[in-house]
Amino acid sequence: MTKNQNQSQKNNISIWWIKNDLRLNFNESLNAAKINPELIMPVYIYNENDLNNHDYVNSRAYSFLHHGLKEIEKQIELQGGRLLQLKSNNPTKSFKELSDKYQIKKIYVTGEFTNEFKEQLNELNTTFDVKVHYDNLVNPKTHLNQTGNPYKVFTQFANQWKNKNTIYNLSAINKFDFTKLDERNDDIPIPQYTLNQLGEFLPGEENASKIFANFIDNKIHSYKDNRDYLYIDGTSKLSPYIKFGMISIKQIYNTCLNLPSSKGVEKWVDELLWREFYLYINNYFPQSINTEFQEKYSNFQWKQDLSLFNQWKYGETGFPVVDACMKQLINTGWMHNRGRMIVASFLTKDLLIDWRMGEKWFMQNLIDGDRPSNVGGWQWTAGCGVDAAPYFRIFNPILQSKKFDPKAIFIKKWIPELQNVEIKFAHEPWLSNESIYRPKIVDHYEARKKTLELFKSYNE
Ligand SMILES: Cc1cc2nc3c(=O)[nH]c(=O)nc-3n(C[C@H](O)[C@H](O)[C@H](O)COP(=O)(O)OP(=O)(O)OC[C@H]3O[C@@H](n4cnc5c(N)ncnc54)[C@H](O)[C@@H]3O)c2cc1C
């Protein structure tokens, strides 16, 4: 770019602050920026805290994000622009530095219902004209019950929303006038995983669209029947793409509305709404990200037994179904929803270990790790969350194993030492006369009894 061209790009710029909306298609923030005559400067700001503190982030998710940004960078370059990548704990400061050099008219961003974003926005608003669009099906501000309060029961939340028959007007614009400025990117850590090492989760909106199309063509109508079986590839596996906004949730929903109706479609939309519900809860009850939603359990005597916790973490509990799920997590960064419930119940109800420890381990390993959904899932299973499973619902790992992996296909895939044993021993290796697997770390029936007594004492 010549000096003059660079100079002419310095005026009348709008920033597209990319957050979890890594896509050019069906992106309301980007489309709104396009309506203005300014050039659009695409900026991604890595959260410096997350780069330095790995408590709630992991290298697989980071690699997915990093390569996802490379994909979007390619698309931006194909349209003659350049993506600017910065790292900072303070977006306002970063944008102020840019505004010393460029005339920034507006900042367009896809907002989030988190305290962190609300604080960032308040600060940003003091200096800039910020236009926020939300990539959510449900708007927490307007979706309230008859008394004007937030819903706390999922079915009410979902049914009332469905009654509104919302259809989203989305524009299919995907060509933009991006800036191509001589700005240096900050030094960003190189991801640990190459694209090939990310396995089936290849980032980018093109991949997201392909996965969604395949799900719609081949799986959605049988979703209700297949979704719970550990050995069937019956769910969408879109979670990391939805998390990073590589596909628009509103576009997904609009597409579902146009499908022939079926129990499968209905059930899948309900699952999308569970995600919305947890985002909504996080908006109104942000403290529940770290504390039990149900106050009666706020002093619950969870254990912190590190030895048992480590055995759970690495799939060494002696319960094949639990161990197989944990191995799936460590090896792929993803776990089946049924598996997540089984292992979360095992940790919190059989071992009575603090759900926060499990939640953190999930965040350190899941490629789709997303705290509102993760905390929601953990508290639901532990029985202390909003609209949670009742405390006396304790998953029996043996029955779950037999029901959702009847031929032990999933177990045998992840636990090679059980590959050649009879199916009944794959579910319950302790029934064999020989020592074919590691011993159980707990007796489920005894643990269940103790747990019920303890929970009961908080309900008297
Ligand atoms: C203990 C526990 C922890 C969890 N942690 C996470 C997490 O960190 N991130 C995450 O995205 N999901 C989490 N879930 C929800 C669910 O397990 C995953 O969303 C799902 O397994 C992802 O696979 P999929 O894309 O094939 O889902 P599908 O069955 O195809 O569902 C479609 C989409 O709906 C959403 N969804 C589905 N089920 C749920 C649910 N129960 N709660 C919230 N959203 C849902 C996801 O965005 C998912 O991609 C957790 C569930 C439990 C029980």
The answer to whether the beta carbons of residues 308 and 353 sit under 8 Å apart is yes
Task: Give the C-alpha separation, 175 to 25, whole Å.
Answer: 9
- Asked if residue 235 has its Cβ within 6 Å of ligand 1, the reply is yes
pLDDT in tens, 365-384: 999 999 999 999 999 999 99
Q: Whose CA is nearest to atom 38 of ligand 1?
A: 271
Q: Which of 373, 374, 379, 387 best tests ligand 1's pocket when mutated (most atoms within 8 Å of CB)?
A: 373
Q: What spacing in Å lies between the alpha carbon of 377 and ligand 1's midpoint?
A: 8
Q: Which pLDDT score is estimated for 380?
A: 97
Which DSSP string do the residues of 409-422 spell out, in sequence order?
HHHHHH-GGGTTS-
Task: Give the C-alpha separation, 430 to 435, whole Å.
Answer: 8
Q: What spacing in Å lies between the alpha carbon of 381 and ligand 1's midpoint?
A: 13
Q: What spacing in Å lies between the alpha carbon of 373 and ligand 1's midpoint?
A: 7
Q: Identify residue 278 by its one-letter amino acid code.
A: Y
- Asked if residue 236 has its Cβ within 6 Å of ligand 1, the reply is yes
Q: Which atom of ligand 1 is nearest to the CA of 368?
A: 9
Q: Which pLDDT score is estimated for 116?
A: 94
Q: Which of 337, 345, 354 best tests ligand 1's pocket when mutated (most atoms within 8 Å of CB)?
A: 337
For 339-352, b where at least 16 C-beta lie within 10 A, e where not — what string?
Answer: bbbbbbbbbbbbbb
The answer to whether the beta carbons of residues 349 and 382 sit under 8 Å apart is yes
pLDDT in tens, 136-177: 999 999 999 999 999 999 999 999 999 999 999 998 888 999
CATH top class, domain 9-134: alpha beta
What are the φ and ψ backbone dihedral angles of 132, each rounded to 5 degrees?
Answer: -110, 130
Q: What spacing in Å lies between the alpha carbon of 163 and ligand 1's midpoint?
A: 24
| Torsion angle (degrees, nearest 10) of CA 45, 46, 48, 51 | -170
Q: What spacing in Å lies between the alpha carbon of 363 and ligand 1's midpoint?
A: 13
Task: Give the C-alpha separation, 458 to 460, whole Å.
Answer: 6
Task: Give the C-alpha separation, 453 to 459, whole Å.
Answer: 10
Task: Give the C-alpha separation, 437 to 440, whole Å.
Answer: 9
Q: Whose CA is nearest to atom 35 of ligand 1?
A: 272
- Asked if residue 243 has its Cβ within 6 Å of ligand 1, the reply is yes
- CATH 1.10.579.10 matches 295-457: yes
Q: Which atom of ligand 1 is nearest to the CA of 341?
A: 53
For 5-14, b where at least 16 C-beta lie within 10 A, e where not — what string?
Answer: eeeebeeebb
Q: What spacing in Å lies between the alpha carbon of 410 and ligand 1's midpoint?
A: 19
Is 170 strand, coil or helix?
coil
Q: Which pLDDT score is estimated for 127?
A: 96
For 26-55, b where at least 16 C-beta lie within 10 A, e where not — what string?
Answer: bbbbbbbbbeeebbbbbbbbbeeebeeeee
The answer to whether the beta carbons of residues 293 and 410 sit under 8 Å apart is no
9-134 and 295-457, same CATH topology: no
Q: What spacing in Å lies between the alpha carbon of 248 and ligand 1's midpoint?
A: 16
- Asked if residue 362 has its Cβ within 6 Å of ligand 1, the reply is yes
pLDDT in tens, 210-264: 999 999 999 999 999 999 999 999 999 999 999 999 999 999 999 999 999 999 9
Q: Whose CA is nearest to atom 6 of ligand 1?
A: 374
Q: Which residue has the tokens 């805290």?
A: 49
- Asked if residue 254 has its Cβ within 6 Å of ligand 1, the reply is no
Task: Give the C-alpha separation, 296 to 73, whole Å.
Answer: 49
Pair of tokens at residue 405:
């992996």
ipTM: 0.99
Q: Which pLDDT score is estimated for 92?
A: 97
Average pLDDT over residues 273-296: 98
**Residue 70 CB neighbour total at 10 angstroms:** 15
- Asked if residue 368 has its Cβ within 6 Å of ligand 1, the reply is yes
Pair of tokens at residue 362:
């999930």
Which DSSP string do the residues of 78-89 spell out, in sequence order?
HTT---EEEEES
Which DSSP string do the residues of 9-75 spell out, in sequence order?
TTSSEEEEEESS---STT-HHHHHHHHSSSEEEEEEEEEHHHHH--SS--HHHHHHHHHHHHHHHHH
Q: Break the chain into its structural domains and give their ranges.
A: 9-134, 136-172+204-284, 295-457
Q: What spacing in Å lies between the alpha carbon of 91 and ligand 1's midpoint?
A: 29
C-alpha of 146 from chain center: 30
Q: Whose CA is nearest to atom 45 of ligand 1?
A: 275
CATH top class, domain 136-172+204-284: mainly alpha
The pLDDT-based confidence of 35 (bands split at 50, 70, 90) is confident
Q: What spacing in Å lies between the alpha carbon of 242 and ligand 1's midpoint?
A: 10
Q: What spacing in Å lies between the alpha carbon of 239 and ligand 1's midpoint?
A: 6
Q: Which of 154, 226, 239, 325 best tests ligand 1's pocket when mutated (most atoms within 8 Å of CB)?
A: 239
Q: How many CA atoms lie within 13 A of 78 on its CB side?
A: 9
Q: What spacing in Å lies between the alpha carbon of 270 and ligand 1's midpoint?
A: 11
Residue ranges of E strands in 228-380: none
Q: What spacing in Å lies between the alpha carbon of 457 and ligand 1's midpoint?
A: 31
Average pLDDT over residues 92-99: 96
Eight-state DSSP code of residue 200: T
The pLDDT-based confidence of 11 (bands split at 50, 70, 90) is confident
The pLDDT-based confidence of 79 (bands split at 50, 70, 90) is very high
Q: Whose CA is nearest to atom 4 of ligand 1?
A: 374
